[in-house]
Amino acid sequence: MITDAELAALCASVYPPSVRSGRRQGIHGIGPDRRIYTALGFRLVRWIDTDAPDDTQVAVFVRRHAAVIAIRGTTTLWDWAANLGARFFLGSWRRRWAGVSDEIREVIDGLEDVHAVYVIGHSLGGALAYHGILDYCDTHSAELVAFGAPRAVSPRLEQALLLSGVTARRYEVESDPIPWIPRGRWGTYGVRHVLPCATWWPSLRNHAVSHYRAQVEALEAHSPR
């Protein structure tokens, strides 16, 4: 079993330290933090880092019979365009996932004795995870966990997720503005968990992956076993 606190830590591991705390944007060429994922017993089997405009970073981890596909979130202006909505050319969540999906599938298919696949992401990464999970619903025990993801689910995607029967959870920090955009026809999917905020007013401090990680760990520490 992989806990959501462990999944939040893996989401944090795919960001450089200064981005994890929300102090800096736009850092590339730096892979996952080995100190985080090895402490949890995971092994990194692939790191994917594409160029702009798709500008997508994905890590594939494995532990025993489970694989975790962790998608990095917003770090550049290209990413912010995607957060604002798929109606813009630069903001196609589905296209971004399509740009890495074949390579990830090849990696997963090459892993022996992997029965469960978790597709996870923070921020923009969570939006891509909604599209990515459908690739594994028919072949594996699949779960989706999104942390601070924008409203990335179209009515058509919602119907596909419902038909798949996939297990999905969505974590939102109070006063994090990202889970409230874009508006219009876009929505969310999965069981919603609301976490305490760092500041009561809407602020990107509430969006930092380090804050999500800390709050999910605190939630699980105080939950009955």
Q: What is the pLDDT of residues 5-55, one digit of tens each?
A: 999 999 999 998 755 444 445 455 578 999 999 999 999 999 999 886 678
What is residue 52's predicted lDDT score, i.e. its pLDDT?
A: 67
Contact 146, 190 (CB under 8 A): yes
Model confidence over 55-82: pLDDT tens digits? 889 999 999 999 999 999 866 544 455 5
Predicted TM-score (pTM) of the model is: 0.90
Q: What is the mean pLDDT of residues 136-160?
A: 95
pLDDT at position 225 is 57
Domain 4-221 falls under CATH 3.40.50.1820: yes
Is pLDDT of 4 > 90?
yes
pLDDT of 75 reads: 60
Residues 93-125 pLDDT 10s: 888 899 999 999 999 999 999 999 999 999 999
Q: What is the pLDDT of residue 115?
A: 96
Chain-centroid distance, C-alpha 130: 9
Q: Is residue 90 pLDDT above 70, yes or no?
A: no
